[in-house]
Amino acid sequence: MRHLLKLEDLTREDILSILNLADQLKFERINGVQKDYLKGKKIGLIFQKASTRTRVSFEAGIYELGGYGLFLSSNDLQIGRGEPVQDTARVLSRYLDGIMIRTFAQQEVEDLAKYGSIPVINGLTDYAHPCQVLADLMTIREYKGSFKGLKLAFVGDGNNMANSLIVGAIKTGMSFAIACPKGYEPDKHLIEWAKENGNITITQDVKEAVKDADVVYTDVWASMGQEEERAKRIKAFAGYQVNKENLSVAKNDVIVLHCLPAHREEEITAEVFEAHADEIFNQAENRLHVQKAVMVKLLK
């Protein structure tokens, strides 16, 4: 494993090995025995979109492991003024040991890895959010013990989260179901891949997706970069909500996850959100542990 660009590039063994290391790092942190696994390592954190969790968990995680994280906003970098990513990659490779990037096009992340000579981590694109899904898998395993035979149901937009969850679920042996309006399905190549490699259901019926689910997941109806579609999307997604009624057909011990930020009374009711807040905020915490594991694997 040289980079973390998308989960498709990882084997099932890669994923489990990251999760195992993340569990170990979480244990070490709780017990105050964490070592400087990233001592002397400099990691650039490029953001072309807003972030709370990704920025802070990467910065805090790098600090805790003895490394140095440089927050690089595209507003300040020449990349924001049109310097090509190919050149940025080659320049940053001469100064740094690794790069995390949050941007729009997946191709930009792939190009950064292709033209640079240091590990690249995808911190969210329009296509994928692998760091988030690794944290989600870690959280699911904490609550459920293992993945085998679990059903993960996603309610809402077939966006970057849905794309990465499909891959994460299928690679770990879960079945995946998504309820989304027509025209808002996940990436069609990933759907084909999932059909060949596991069990996937795509439906417009929320209860069909949620029925007997062990994990119910949702995300915003309008992602970053889609702000101008917000009004149209609010109409299209009406009813695609994680609420008490829709959740009533899931398993009794269902957990509810949300990558955050959440829009209460849109994709999830405040009532369900608060009832499952422990799961959702443990999930947010696990970003820290899982990303530390990814950095240690790629940089050590």
Q: Which residues bind ligand CP (CB under 6 A)?
A: 51-54, 124, 132, 259-260
Residue 262: strand, helix, or coil: coil
Tell me which of 258, 276, 287, 289 is the catalytic residue: 287
Secondary structure (3-state) at 85: helix
45 is a site residue for ligand NVA (CB under 6 A): no
129 is an active site residue: yes
Return the SS3 of 197. Answer: helix
Provide the minimum distance between the beta carbon of 252 and ligand CP in the complex, in angstroms, as a whole number. Answer: 28
Distance CA 255, CA 140 (A): 8
102 is a catalytic site residue? yes
Q: Quick check: 100 and 45 in contact, CB under 8 A?
A: yes
Name the minimum Å distance from CB 124 to ligand CP: 6
Residues 96 to 135 in contact with ligand NVA, rule: CB under 6 A: 124
Out of 48, 136, 259, 289, pick the active-site residue. 259
Q: Which of 159, 163, 269, 291 binds ligand NVA (CB under 6 A)?
A: 159
Q: Which residue's CB is nearer to ligand NVA, number 118 or number 155?
A: 155
Nearest to 203 by CA among 246, 141, 168, 253: 246
Nearest Cα neighbor of 49 from 154, 155, 122 is 122
Give strand pairing partners of 300: none
52 binds, among ligand NVA, ligand CP, none (CB under 5 to 8 A by kind): ligand CP
Distance between CA atoms of residues 283 and 44, nearest Å: 24
Q: Which residues are catalytic?
A: 102, 129, 132, 219, 259, 287
Residues at the contact surface with ligand NVA, assessed by CB under 6 A: 124, 159-161, 219-220, 223-224, 259
